[in-house]
Structures are given as C-alpha cells and as structure tokens.
Amino acid sequence: MQNQIVHESISEMKKYAKALQGNRNYVAKKTAEDPDYFRKLSQGQNPKYLLIGCSDSRAPPNEITETDPGEIFIHRNIANVVVPTDLNINCVIQYAIEHLKVHNIVIMGHTFCGGVKAAMKQDSVGGLLDLWLNNLKLVYEKHQELINQLEDEDDRVACLAHMNVREQVLNVWKNPIVQKSWQDGHPVMVHGWLFRVETGFIEELEIEESIPTNLSKVFQLNFKPTQSQKPKQQKEDNEEERSRSPSIRKRFQRMQSRLETEIKRLTIITLQDPNQDVEKGVIDQVSEVLQKDPEFKTEDH
C-alpha cells in the first residue's frame, strides 16, 4: 500500500513539473518571436470582449479562439452560469464594461458538460454543488418536455447546454450594470456560443433576445442621473432617455443583425477571393440597408 502511494505521488509530481516546464517553453517561444513581448504585455490590457465560460478543462477560451493573452477578458465557473446575486461575476461584468469598455459579452457553453449532465439527474453531488446546480435545474425544468424527447443522452445534455446559454444571455441583459451602460451611451451586445467538444468548432447560437427590443418591464430599470448634472438638465435628460432608450435598442438590434449576416456572407466571399475588401463591403451593405429602413432613423441630440 505504501509503495503504491509513493508511486502515485511520483507520477503526479512529474505531471506538475511538466506544467512548469511548459511555462518555460512558452516564454522561450514568445521571446524568440519578440524579445519585448512580455514587457509590452505588462503595459496593460485592451480586450475586445468579455467571455463567460465553463471551468471545464476541455474548453480553454484562448486556445479554441486562437487568441493571445490580453485579447479576451475571461470569467469561468461551473456550467457558465450568470447568477444575479453572484458578487464575483457582477464585479467582472462591471469592470469589463465600465473600465475596459468592452462592447461584446459572450456566454460560452459546451457539449458533454459534467455540470449540465449532473443537473439532469436526481443524484446528489454534495453540498454547495447541489445548490449551484439548482440554477441549471431551473432551466431544465422549463425546457424538460423538449429535452426529454431526445433519445440519446449526449443529445439531451447538448440541448440543455444550449438552453442554458440562452438563459444566461437573458440574465446578462437583466443585469443592472448592463442596462445602465445603455443609458450612459455605451451599448453592449450579448452573444451565445456552444463549443462542440467532439468537433472543436464553436456554434454561434441564434438568440433572438440577444438584444431585447422590449425588455420585460419587471426587469427594466430607470437610473438616477449623476450628481454632476444640474437639476433642470437632469429632468430633461430623464425625459429624453425614457423616450429614446427603446428606439436605440431597436435600432442597435437591427444593426447588429445586419452586421452579423453581412460579415458571414462576405467572409465566405473573401475565402473565395482574398482581394475582396470585407470591411468596406460590410459598411456599404449595412449602411444601404439601414438608410432604406424607416424604423432606423438618425436622431440629433
């Protein structure tokens, strides 16, 4: 028995040492490409989006998106859940929006998720995990009729993972920090991804509520103006904000939808003809569509 414990301990220490050696290899590779790489990295970060993903070791955000350190602001927990009362995730969201100025938040779930699978069963996994998985059980309860129609267990797990991403997207939109960012003139887009572990591809989910044109009044919040505003200006700004917020969301939703459609279409064209100017094509196409759209009108403020 003692010899077995020693043997297992040596094996685990070798794995641990391999991780540290991997770090040295990583540093050597990066500095060979650019001697100032880490000095530049230490100057600060400018990520383009916040990704809220699962802690599962098979779904590393940087690796599967082929991005470098500094490009993604990341929060991970079991089964990528956005709990309204979770101080940790709310601090991450606030910092990402107010300080890093990200305009995109991505909720990324994945197939073969252990947390999702456990939430579909009645077996206790113990203590705090059971409490955490109740967040998933609520999603399962809502969609169980659809999910249970699938015969294969892996398909049922993938379906609930999909539905869970959709639910967490809505939770992000209900978040006061995100709602306030709109009032402050900082629009945020929320996206849903499902990472297919079995293929390695990310599936971008079609979520019609990704930018809700009319958020349920139960969750809609009106924010007090900042103290630096004068009383008269506060009243005018409040009235203006109430009148224009829904239309801003609606116009931005239409713009995001057109952008996503045109980018996908023009990306295919670019693969066929590398000389195509994708960005200019997107701008021209979206501008033309929006100019003809009677519901998308420019407002002077």
Please identify which of the residues 75, 110, 156, 251 carries the catalytic annotation. Answer: 110
**Catalytic status, residue 99:** no
**Catalytic status, residue 156:** no
Please identify which of the residues 54, 75, 159, 258 carries the catalytic annotation. Answer: 54
**Catalytic status, residue 54:** yes
The answer to the question of whether 184 is labelled as a binding residue is no
The answer to the question of whether 110 is labelled as a binding residue is yes
The answer to the question of whether 54 is labelled as a binding residue is yes
The answer to the question of whether 75 is labelled as a binding residue is no
Please identify which of the residues 58, 196, 242, 244 carries the catalytic annotation. Answer: 58
Please identify which of the residues 113, 159, 166, 191 carries the catalytic annotation. Answer: 113
Please identify which of the residues 56, 75, 156, 251 carries the catalytic annotation. Answer: 56
3-state SS string for the chain: CHHHHHHHHHHHHHHHHHHHHHHHHHHHHHHHHCCCHHHHHCCCCCCCEEEEEECCCCCCHHHHHCCCCCCEEEEEECCCCCCCCCHHHHHHHHHHHHHCCCCEEEEEEECCCHHHHHHCCCCCCCHHHHHHHHHHHHHHHHHHHHHCCCCCHHHHHHHHHHHHHHHHHHHHHHCHHHHHHHHCCCCCEEEEEEECCCCCCEEECCCCCCCCCCCCCCCCCCCCCCCCCCHHHHHHHHHHHHHHHHHHHHHHHHHHHHHHHHHHHHHHHHHHCCCCCHHHHHHHHHHHHHHHCCCCCCCCC
Q: What is the distance in angstroms between the CA of the first residue and the CA of the last residue of the chain?
A: 77
Residue ranges of the binding site:
54, 56, 110, 113
Residue ranges of the binding site for Zn(2+):
54, 56, 110, 113
User: Would you name the residues annotated as active-site residues?
Assistant: 54, 56, 58, 110, 113
